[in-house]
Each structure stands twice: as structure tokens, then as C-alpha cells.
Amino acid sequence: MSEKVHATVGHHYIVEASGCDPDIIGSVERVQQILVKAAEIAGAQVWAISFSRFPPNGVSGVVVISESHISTHTWPEYRYGALDIYTCGKGVDPEKAVIYAVDAFGAATSHVTEITRGIDEGDTIFFHSFVTWEEDLKKKVKKDKKKDKA
Amino acid sequence: MSEKVHATVGHHYIVEASGCDPDIIGSVERVQQILVKAAEIAGAQVWAISFSRFPPNGVSGVVVISESHISTHTWPEYRYGALDIYTCGKGVDPEKAVIYAVDAFGAATSHVTEITRGIDEGDTIFFHSFVTWEEDLKKKVKKDKKKDKA
């Protein structure tokens, strides 16, 4: 039973990346390359991609992976990118994808919440829990880590 | 400035839907129809869709909308569906899409977190905040609403 329940568990990183390079996050081609590479770094298999201009200057994109999805929506005029990386199953490491993507965006700082999804207590009533932190990529430190069971 | 800052704000609903109808959430065609309809109900413009079988019996799908994205990953064997509805901008109502989609999935209960993304205090350092609740769709009530600033 424990193995079956584990199959529903996923790790979903919600990221607000600030201080990004506007030339990078304003380019549909570069953002697509970064997210596909992030999927590969996580060890995920890419099934489909969809990237387009997010008016006025941003990029909106989704990479559907075998283990869930990676998506972004960017606002170069504010040097801001919203990023989601959600993976299920074993053999994938979404945190590596997060670190790669925010670094490739040129982000100075990130506000990150990691949501553990699809948890149950054996009763098939599913819930999620989360932990939040700020990450200063220049210092490579995590601070103000805050855990909460939602 | 306030108008510009507002442009980055998005509403992202993270939903664990339990007790879903396995025939519905196990059908690629039906799940696709539900999510496209949910996008329409939210008032969002559909840009791209990608749906496929999520082994062994589930469905994995993303609808890219002009205002961000809607996605799902389902496990019919546990009557469980993980759902994300993320919209930016005015003129869209993501909560309507959430209510429609979980009802169409036949969910008995849902654990929901609404994340407000892309918030800043005028310094272009972006963060998110969230509020979590349980929703019993049969009773149409929200309970245990819990607010937290992440």
C-alpha cells in the first residue's frame, strides 16, 4: 500500500525570480532552451513544449514532462519571472531544475515555496504541505526557511 | 506605478481533488474537454493544449491560456486529480474554473491553496502569499480557511 500511495506524491516548486536579465527572459527562444534544459537536468523526459510571446514583452511557456510539467511566465520590464516545476515519481530531481533555471534567468533573488502534493494518510483524501524560503543566488544561501503544513 | 505592478499579480489555485470519478479522470478526451471548458468559464483565451496518457491509467494535460495556464495530472486508481489554475490580469475569474473543474471531475472533497503571485512592495523583489482551505463540494461550504503570508 505504501508503494501505491507514494505514486501520487509530487514535488512542486513555486518560484518568484527577481532581478532577472531582461534580455534573457524576454527571448522566447532562450526561455524555451532554458526550460527544456532544466527538464533534462531534473532527469525528466520531455513530452511536449509550448512557448509564445506573453504580451507585451514577456514569454509564456510550458514543458510537459513524463513526470508532470515545468512552466514559466515572464515580465522582462520588471526583471521578474514566475516559475513552476512540478515532478512526480522517483529518479527526478526538481530542485536541480529550479537552481539551473533561476541561475540561467540571471535572477538575483528568488522567493520559493516547495509544495509536496498528493499526500494522504491511507484514506485517499489527498492534501499538500509546503515549505517556503528566500534564496539569494549570489550568496548561494537559503534563509528564513519556514515550514507549514497546509 | 500601481497599475504597472498590478500587471505581474496572478492568482494560482493549487488543488488536490479527492473522490473523483475514475471513468472521467481516466479519459484523456474528457479531461481535455473539462479543462478547455474551465478556461472558457474563467474567461481566458486558449492558446495551446497538450493532453496525453499519464501511465498507468491517468491523464496529464496543460492548457496554455493568454493569462497563464491550467494543468492537471490524474490518478484514477486513487480517484485523485492534482489541478493547477493560474491566471494573471483582469477580466478572468480562476475560481469559477476551479469550481467547474472539480465538480466535473466528480470530486467529493478538495484541498485548495490559493497563491497570489508576483506581489512586490514597489521594490521589484517579488513574492507570493497564500490561503488554504478544505472544500466539501457536496455541502458547497468552505471550512478551516487558513491564511498565511509566505
Considering only CB atoms, A10 lies closest to which of B78, B82, B86, namely B82
Residues of B recognised as catalytic? 68, 73, 88
Position A9 confidence tier, pLDDT thresholds 50, 70, 90: very high
Pick from A52, A61, A117: CB nearest B16: A117
**pTM of this prediction?**
0.89
pLDDT tens digits, residue range B40-91?
A: 999 999 999 999 998 889 999 999 998 899 999 999 999 999 999 999 988 8
- Nearest-5° angle of CA A24, CA A27, CA A31? 70
ipTM: 0.88
CB interface of B with A, residues 110-149, below 8 Å = 111, 113, 115, 117-118, 120, 124-128, 130, 132, 146, 148
Do B116 and B34 form a contact (C-beta atoms < 8 A)?
no
Overall residue count recorded for chain B in this entry: 150
Sign of CA dihedral B121, A61, A117, B11: positive
A150 at the B interface (CB within 8 A)? yes
pLDDT digits (tens, 9 = 90+) for A30-56: 999 999 999 999 999 999 999 999 888
Nearest CA to CA, how far is B126 from chain A (Å)? 6
CB contacts of B18 in chain A (<8 Å) are 120, 124-126
- What distance in Å separates the CA atoms of residue B139 and residue B137, rounded to the nearest whole number? 5
What residue in B sits closest to A61 (Cα-Cα)?
A: B64
pLDDT confidence of A134, banded at 50, 70, 90? confident
Catalytic machinery residues of A? 68, 73, 88
**In B, residues 27-46, which contact A (CB 8 Å cutoff)?**
none
pLDDT tens per residue across span A74-96: 999 999 999 999 999 888 999 99
Which residues, other chains included, contact B8 with Cβ-Cβ below 8 Å and sequence gap of 6+?
A: A75, A78, A80, A82, B88, B117, B118, B119, B120, B126
